[in-house]
Structure 1
Amino acid sequence: MTEVEASVARFAAMGTRVELHLFGRDAPDALAAARAAVEAVEDALTVRRESPAVVLNRVLAVGGAAVVADPLLWEALLAVNAMWRATGGLFDPGVGGGGPARRWRDVIPASHKPVPRRTPGPSWEGFSDSCEASPNWTPASAGVEREGEETISRQRSSSGDVGGVASSPHPPSLLGPGLRRGTSARGADDTAPLPNWSALTIDRAARRVAAAHPLALDFGGFGKGYALDRAAAVLRAAGVTSAFLSAGESSIAVIGEHPLGGAWPLAIPHPEIDGVWLTELELSDASLSVSSTVGAGAAKPGRAAMVRPTDGAIVTRPATAVAVATTGAEAEALSTALLVADAPALARLRAAAPDRRFLFSHDAPTRADRPMELTA
């Protein structure tokens, strides 16, 4: 029986549970540095307490301009701008920021959990079938930031002795209940401009951001992937060659290969039907994001419909989007874009990388012994 030494950190951050698994070496200092990188992103981008993002939003909410001094916020703004352009405006963290016709909205995405799958042979032996099956791993306390269970431990993975974890609920947002993923609904009598990213002007030389009309930004559909990117960069700099990073289990990043050989195999479960996989993927040095309009997370009280940011149309189709990309930030943006895209835009997005971008329609017939059919 093959044994692989592992170092593990589990803690609450980004409004969810973060897990960092390093294999092949005991590296508590690297784990501590990676955790600090995640928490630094939270400190910069959170809208649940005072942060550089909140300070910027106060200015943008009145249609003002500000110089962005925080380096992580500035880097995030540039990354979001790139993905907004790459997705044709379908990924957009802009929300209503001023005036009685709009209020800030909760843009926390519905949680959906890809889980390790058991496969014959060595590539995934030693990992449980379900992220919810382990009696030893428990979610951090709901609504707690920087608190709850947090450990850095050493484990040895062999057949059957590494399990998974159920993610904790998101704490309440200061933005209040409403729309997910950076969009805002339009009423029939609402003729004001959409409060989206197109209202922003970014002056790279001066590090200055200006809003053409009131809006605010929420990085809930971006921050987890971006935080895992920062953590992965720290781990690679420390010489880590095999790692599995998870934020809420809907945002995944892997470094190198699986410790027992080969790529990291993942199965994406149906959000409502036990025992049905949407797809199975194998990742190496890549990131994955899953977004869904159905399931327990999407059905929580106060969750409003998904809205397409380009035209304000409400997206009603029951579907799950899966995106694989080089970075977590890109994967988060793409899974959102796939979920809200109309048919022509969806076809363009999928055609660019059909083996890495998926949208599963839950209106399609399903059998327990095969994956869901892809939408056109």
Structure 2
Amino acid sequence: MRAVVYTESGDTSVLEVVEREVPEPGPGEVRVRIVRAGVNPTDWKFRAGGMGELAFPEIVPGQDGAGAVDAVGPDVVDLAVGDRVWTMLAQHQRPGGTAQEQVVLPLERLTRLPDSASYDVGAALGVPAVTAHRALTTSEDGPDRLAPGAMAGLTVLVAGGAGAVGNAAVQLARWAGATVISTVSSAEKATLATAAGAHHTVNYRDGDTATAIRDLAPDGVDLVVEVAPAQNLGLDLQVINPRGTIAIYANNGGNEITLGVRETFSTNARFQWVLLYTVGQAALRAAAEDITAALEDGAFGIGEDRGLPLHRYPLKETAAAHAAVEDGAVGKVLLEVSDA
């Protein structure tokens, strides 16, 4: 089978397409024939050495993917050959991710993909959608699970609603009944955030952003899904509701933040840090179930009409796909690994 591997940290030139033996699943494991694989910022950051030394001598990148089960371990009864599935954290603490034709994964890292959802959609879930779910379900006064009506009466501010996580947060919050405001940097990105389901968009490069948000939410927002805390926490504190939550899932724009104690005290706000690798299996499973329910409701999708343009690359061009994500491609980058 074909697999993309790297054996040292570096730029995209360390990626190589090779032939490898087809792996066999052991107890509690399932082998999946990958049809589509997603590419996320974590993929190139791991490859570039930004997450520390390589954990294995040879690594296949890719946390996210979708495909069909083609073999199961001796004690696996929850999935069968032919079942359509999507993956989460495929590469976490394992050498083999989704940038290969067949991958063996523990059962808990797989979720059934509804027949109504394409493999493209399945490969675009994982990191973005599960991160968004976690960000939306950690508030003191909010729900710990998402479903229609679960966020009714709440206002959510999504920073960067045209990004993959931002897009997922907009779609899931809208499905759950929240009023959604998204900050964007251009009219084009406002169009994407609106397509995802945002009720309102605010261009942070045009005028007083805090005033514009307060005009839309006079009592403040209940939850912020934040991608750039170094740049935005001052703004977030101006618009957060008492006892609101600022859920931070990335460090875009800088690694250091400065907070004034007095102004922060007055909000009674909660800062929730979100990193999927340590949230625990219960949170991951809850996210998988709720995201799948949104798929079945037709409330979650990808593509231009859902605010997330697609960029497809064949497996042999994984290096170009990594480069596209690293260069800030707007939308979702997918690898076409095999035919459906």
Check whether TM > 0.5: no
With normalisation by structure 2, the TM-score equals: 0.25
Higher relative contact order (CA 8 A, sep 6+): 1
With normalisation by structure 1, the TM-score equals: 0.24
Q: Which structure carries more helix by proportion?
A: 2
